[in-house]
Every structure is written in C-alpha cells, then in structure tokens.
Amino acid sequence: MSRHGKRRSAKQAVMTSLVVVLICAVAGYLFVLNVQSNGSTVMSSDTQGLLEERAKHVNQLQKDITDLSSQVETLKKTLGSDSQSADDTSATAKGANSSPTESDENSNSTASGNGDNSSSDAAAEESTASVLPAYSGPGLSVTLTDSPLWQDVQSTSNLSDSNVNDYVVHQQDLEAVVNALWAGGAESMMIQDQRVLPTTAVRCVGNVLLLQGKQYAPPYTVSAIGPTDKMQKALDSSYAINVYKQYVDSVGLGWDMKVSQKLEFPKTTAVLQTLKYASEIK
C-alpha cells in the first residue's frame, strides 16, 4: 500500500474513533438525565397532609365568599327599601299638587311601577332560589376505594403503567356511579362533602379527585336521595359499573353500597350563575 493510502486509512480510523466516543458521550448524558428525571418523580408520602391543608384553605375562601355574599344581599335589601320609600314619597307629593286627572295618571303610573318592582322582586327571588336548599329523605351511598395491593404493585418495577392503573379508582368509575344514580331517579346528590350542582364536573388526576376547588384522596363516597329501589337497579344494570365490579373481584378494588332511611344534605353556599346565551345583533 502506498504512503498516501496508509495516511488516508489512519485518518479514517481516527474519525471513526471520534464518532464512537461522541456517541458514547451522548448516550451517557441521556442515561444520567433519565435517571435524574425518574428520581425526581417520587411521590410524596404526605399526600394526605397536603390535601388537608389545601382543603382548609379552600374552606376559608368559601367562608369568605359566603360572608361577602350575605353583605351584598343586605346592601341590596337596604337600597331596595330606600328606593321604594323615595318613590312613595315622590308619588305622594305629586298627588297632592296635581289635578284629579293627573292623580289618575299618577295612579296608573304608580301601579305600573309596582308591577315593575314586582318583576324585579321576582327576579331577585329567582336569583336567591338558585342556592340549593337543605334536602333530606331516603337514599343510598356508594363508596369506591383503591385496592389495598396498590402500594405493593406500584413498587414492583416489572409491571407496566396499565397494570398499576387497574388497582386505583378512576374518573370514569365515579362518573359511572353518578350517571347511574341520576338515571335511577336521584333527586339530589353529594360527592364527598359537596352538593352536586348543574356545573359540577368530576375530574381526577392520578388517584386524586378534583371537585369544585377541593382535592380529595380515596375512598370516594357518592350519596343520593331518591327512590332507592330504582337507583339500585340502575347501578346493577350499568355496563361501566359491571366492568368496575370485575376488577373488584380480580384485583381487590373497593365497592360498598349502603341504603339509608334518611340522608340529610346541607344547604349549599354556591350560587348558580344565570346562563346567558349569544343573540343575533339587529
């Protein structure tokens, strides 16, 4: 081989070695980065404590909202009575200084004004009626819990994520219970310690339930007031719940249903906002 060929071969060998070293360095960097990332995703052992702290904060905020709402209602009533008194005084003064014909006209306008006030009062009552009152009656409660084997399964590295998820309660499981109870004629419902409103949305992140600003750890309890026989039949005929019960038998998910002669739901402090729809501009 010529001297030029030997030099070319040596140069190619050096380049190949550099490429191999560079690939090994990149692979090592990615490996270290992956280990650090996995190490930082350790679940907190004090999840329950964090949830309780968040729940206390949300409760305090809701109390503040309730107090402010009461003050607003008091001010509305005060302003309404002052306005009514001013209208009555003005009408009386006009009636004393007017002719009989004008008095009749003032009487008609006053009557019309009273009608408007009645409409506004009715609207105000409708607004306050949007707060759900306390409710009681016969009903049932369904409690869903994670499998007691979940912690052991989570620590087993040879199982995939799908296997781990089989051992915990999911959003669709809670939704299945809620939908079945409504289908069975439920008149009022609670999830955990909160009344279910038309705007209530069940959302889970992992095995943590997010409900109207609060966070809950399992077990999860859904209570409903209504015809207990129909609600039980609706639960039994639900396809999604029957699938859940298969996991109850196979992996130990929790399912407990209790019928009560009387359940009592407290008055909710959440005011339902009036829905507004878009309209065509004329």
256 within domain boundaries: yes
Residue 221, beta-bridge partner list: 143
CA distance 171 to 12: 59
Same domain as 208, residue 96 = no
Same domain as 4, residue 61 = no
81 within domain boundaries: yes
How many whole angstroms from its chain centre is CA 205?
12
Same domain as 212, residue 146 = yes
Is pTM beyond 0.75? Reply is: no
275 within domain boundaries: no
CA distance 103 to 91: 9
DSSP characters for 183-228? HTT-SEEEETTEE--TT---EEETTEEEETTEEEPSPEEEEEES-H
Same domain as 242, residue 158 = yes
219 within domain boundaries: yes
Q: Which residues contact 47 (CB under 8 A, 6 or more apart)?
A: 208, 217
How many CA atoms, within 13 angstroms, populate the side-chain half-sphere of residue 254? 16
62 within domain boundaries: yes
- Find where tokens 């007017």 sit: 98
Same domain as 209, residue 178 = yes
DSSP characters for 18-61? HHHHHHHHHHHHHHHHHHHHHHTTPPPTTHHHHHHHHHHHHHHH
Please give, one letter per residue, the 3-state secondary structure of 142-178: EEEECCCCHHHHHCCCCCCHHHHHCCCCCHHHHHHHH
280 within domain boundaries: no
173 within domain boundaries: yes
Asked if 139 and 260 touch (Cβ cutoff 8 Å), the reply is yes
Instruction: Show pLDDT as tens, one digit a residue, over the chain (282 residues).
Output: 555 555 556 666 667 777 777 787 777 777 766 666 555 444 444 666 777 777 777 777 777 777 777 777 777 777 766 556 555 555 555 554 444 444 344 444 333 344 444 444 444 444 444 677 899 999 999 999 998 886 666 566 555 555 778 888 999 999 999 999 999 999 999 999 999 987 788 888 877 898 888 889 899 999 999 999 999 999 999 999 999 999 999 888 999 999 999 999 998 866 555 555 555 665
Total domains present in the chain: 3
Same domain as 85, residue 112 = yes
Q: Which residues contact 6 (CB under 8 A, 6 or more apart)?
A: none
pLDDT at 114: 43
Crossing angle for the helix pair 171-183 and 228-237, to the nearest 10 degrees: 130
Domain, as residue range, for 109:
47-128
